[in-house]
């Protein structure tokens, strides 16, 4: 069923993802367009902010009383999660740098659709026709966006190949 709170959370989530992509593209020139440096700064800032937020929200006693705090398996899993998170941040920054915030959002939407479809098939869930139609619209829109972008890039490539000067511009945004 559709709820107003669920719809609000979905729209807010999309808004924050889009704002993060826009902010990332605006911050890249501040670090000489170096995605590694941007990831390093983001993670360093998160580490610094993490401790005061733990203190403010009273999470420190909960963390310290966690029974597996000194378990090597726990720290291995936490380290792997950290490495995967860092990798995702790098890939996100690199995709935004090479394309645009809009392209990043569209590819993220297509990825979410694919994950949802895999989950529905894997768990043999039954969905309504309207659910399938709405998801096909998302996939179709993502596919059309990719087609238009590919056509634009091909035209720009052919135009730069046919010109007498060496192109100085980067890939089209």
Examine the domain organization and report whether 65 and 114 are in the same domain. no
Average pLDDT for residues 81-99, to the nearest whole number? Answer: 94
Q: Are 77 and 120 in a shared domain?
A: no
Residue 165, pLDDT above cutoff 60: no
Split at pLDDT 50, 70, 90, the class of 53 is very high
Assess contact for 145 and 106: CB atoms under 8 A.
yes
Task: Looking at the structure, tell me whether residues 76 and 136 fall in a common domain.
Answer: no
173 lies in some domain: no
- Examine residue 167 and state whether it is found in any structural domain, yes or no: no
SS (H, E, C) 37-55: HHHHHHHHHHHHHHHHHHH
* Domain end call among 82, 98, 114: 98
User: Where a domain ends, among 98, 120, 152?
Assistant: 98
| Mean local confidence (pLDDT), 139-155 | 91
Is residue 4 assigned to a domain? Answer: no
Tell me the pLDDT of the chain averaged across its residues.
90
Q: Please determine, for residue 80, whether its predicted confidence score (pLDDT) is greater than 80.
A: yes
E strands of the chain, at which residues? none
Domain carrying residue 50: 11-98
Contact present, 139 and 116 (Cβ < 8 Å): no
Average pLDDT over residues 105-130: 91
Percent of residues, the chain, with pLDDT higher than 70: 94
Residues 84 and 154 in one domain: no
| Residue 2 in domain | no
30: in domain: yes
Same domain as 51, residue 33: yes
Q: Global pTM?
A: 0.76
pLDDT above 90 (res 72): yes
Burial 1-22 (b: 16+ CB within 10 A, else e): eeeeeeeeeeeeeeeebeeebb
Residue with tokens 């380290």: 79
Q: Specify whether 107 is located in the same domain as 94.
A: no
140: Cα separation from own chain's centroid? 20
Total tally of structural domains belonging to the chain: 2
User: Are residue 60 and residue 136 in the same domain, yes or no?
Assistant: no
Structure tokens at 81: 């999660």
The answer to whether residues 76 and 113 belong to one domain is no
């Amino acid at each position: 069923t559709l709820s107003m709170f669920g719809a609000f959370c979905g729209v807010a989530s999309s808004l924050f993802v889009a704002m993060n992509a826009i902010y990332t593209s605006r911050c890249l020139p501040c670090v000489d367009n170096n995605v590694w440096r941007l990831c390093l700064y983001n993670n360093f800032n998160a580490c610094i902010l993490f401790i005061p937020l733990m203190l403010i929200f009273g999470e420190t006693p909960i963390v310290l009383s966690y029974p597996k705090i000194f378990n090597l398996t726990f720290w291995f899993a936490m380290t792997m999660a950290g490495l995967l998170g860092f990798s995702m941040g790098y890939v996100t920054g690199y995709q935004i740098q090479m394309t645009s915030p809009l392209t990043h959002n569209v590819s993220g939407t297509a990825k979410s659709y694919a994950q949802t479809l895999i989950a529905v098939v894997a768990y043999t869930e039954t969905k309504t026709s309207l659910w399938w139609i709405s998801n096909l619209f998302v996939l179709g829109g993502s596919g059309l966006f990719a087609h238009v972008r590919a056509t634009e890039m091909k035209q720009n490539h052919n135009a730069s190949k046919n010109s007498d000067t060496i192109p100085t511009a980067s890939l089209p945004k």
